[in-house]
Amino acid sequence: MKEPPGGAGSPWLVAGEGLPEDVRDLIVRHIDSISKLEILLLLGRHPDVSPEGVASELRMAPQPVRERLDELVKSRLAARDGDRYRLREQSLQPLVDRLADSYAKRRVSVVEFVISRPSDSLSTFSDAFKFRRKK
């Protein structure tokens, strides 16, 4: 097997390598699961969707889809109009398109970057084991 450029420990193997900086920033700030990534990409392709439509398209259960959509609304990437969802602002479309392009061309890099991102719940869990001094 051929060794990667720069050797096995090179930055070439770092998660997210080769992804545009704005795409990496979007993932770090807002994308904590592949399902959320897929839903955001769907919003980029279909500007007016229902949770049921998303669930059908992505073959997911409706409840987790609703939860991910509401998380995207909270993070100001999506907007809700009744029971319909869309990207919050048209100005997000080029960024979502770059994310879609990166996902199409470098799927493994994007997936590894999403799953290697530290999760808030993991930090909260680990914080529970920190020792604190009594005052």
Closest C-alpha among 2, 29, 26, 12 to residue 98: 26
Residues 84-112 have a mean pLDDT of: 95
How far apart are the C-alpha atoms of 40 and 54, rounded to whole Å? Answer: 10
In order, the DSSP letters of 68-84 are HHHHHHHTTSEEEETTE
Cα–Cα dist 54/112, whole Å: 24
Q: Which domains does the chain have, with CATH numbers?
A: 18-127 (1.10.10.10)
Shortest CA distance to 24 belongs to which of 104, 103, 123, 86?
A: 103
What global pTM score does this model have?
A: 0.76
The first and second tokens of residue 89, run together, are 């602002």
Tens-place pLDDT, residues 25-61? 999 999 999 999 999 999 999 989 999 999 999 999 9
Distance CA 54, CA 60 (A): 8
